[in-house]
Homo-oligomer: A and B are copies of this chain.
């Protein structure tokens, strides 16, 4: 068996578990969002702001993926939502089995939206389906506008690109239009939102996007 054979076998096994998860989430009417970015692009900070805005009306939960530390799950638990930390050891992405195990280990109850925050990495998480409704890729304005073309796989597959830390735009050389054009070239169907958890810019559009996706999923399920 070559490395390529093994990789295909691993991805096939992952896809089977992801399909099982997707059926389960559909049955429960839970919207599942898989958040992917570099380390430090602001995934947990975006989730904190989202929880503050939506937790009063929706049942939210989070699965946090990291190499080490319980820090991210702790930050979300402090806001009163159930959060489970997966420690991958050395692995640079979550897989569907880890998500299934997390759901078995912790009673999330019935959720409206489950956020899965992947390991901080623009490459490895791309190929692993976690049973999500869609992937969201975050790109902070401090990382530079050349990242979509440098990491085309994730920007091609994510239904939503969230530009973060827009409050820092006056202090960095980030060409927003160039980033927008690169994302549009890779993925014409995708949505792009410009946000700042500090100033609140774009947060309403992000919340509306989640609510619309949840409503669409519920109407599909009830048909």
Partner of A90, one of B41, B66, B67, B123: B123
Residues of B within 8 A of A165 (CB): 142
Q: Indicate if A1 sits at the interface (CB-CB under 8 A).
A: yes
Name A164's closest neighbour in chain B (CB-CB): B142
Is A29 among interface residues, defined by CB-CB distance under 8 A?
A: no
How far is B120's CA from A152's CA once the two chains are assembled, in angstroms?
A: 13
Please, what's the 1-or-0 string for A100-136, where 1 marks a CB less than 8 Å from any CB in chain B? Answer: 0000000000000000000111111000000000000
Contact partner of A123 (CB less than 8 A), chosen from B6, B119, B172, is B119
* Chain A 153-182 per-residue mask, 1 if CB under 8 angstroms from chain B, else 0: 100000000000101100110000000000
- Number of this chain's copies in the complex: 2
Tell me the complex Cα distance, A146–B120, Å.
Answer: 12
Interface residues on A, range: 35 or more
A57-93 near B? 1/0 per residue, CB < 8 Å: 0000000001111010000000000000000001010
Given contacts A90-B123, A92-B124, A142-B140, contact A68 B38 (CB under 8 A): no
Q: How far is the CB of A70 from chain B (nearest CB, A)?
A: 10
Q: Does A202 contact B (CB under 8 A)?
A: no
Is A55 interfacial (CB 8 A cutoff)? no
Residues in B whose Cβ lies below 8 Å from that of A140: 40, 142
Most buried by B among A66, A67, A168: A67
Q: Are B39 and A40 in contact (CB under 8 A)?
A: no
Q: Which of A142-156 contact B (CB under 8 A)?
A: 142-144, 146-147, 149-153
Residues of A near any B CB (own CB < 8 A): 1, 3, 6, 10, 38-41, 66-69, 71, 90, 92, 119-124, 140, 142-144, 146-147, 149-153, 165, 167-168, 171-172
* Interchain Cβ contacts under 8 Å between A and B, 7 examples: A40-B140, A40-B143, A69-B146, A92-B124, A119-B123, A168-B168, A171-B171
Q: Which 9 A-B pairs have the closest CB atoms?
A: A40-B143, A142-B142, A92-B123, A38-B38, A38-B39, A40-B144, A69-B149, A69-B150, A39-B122
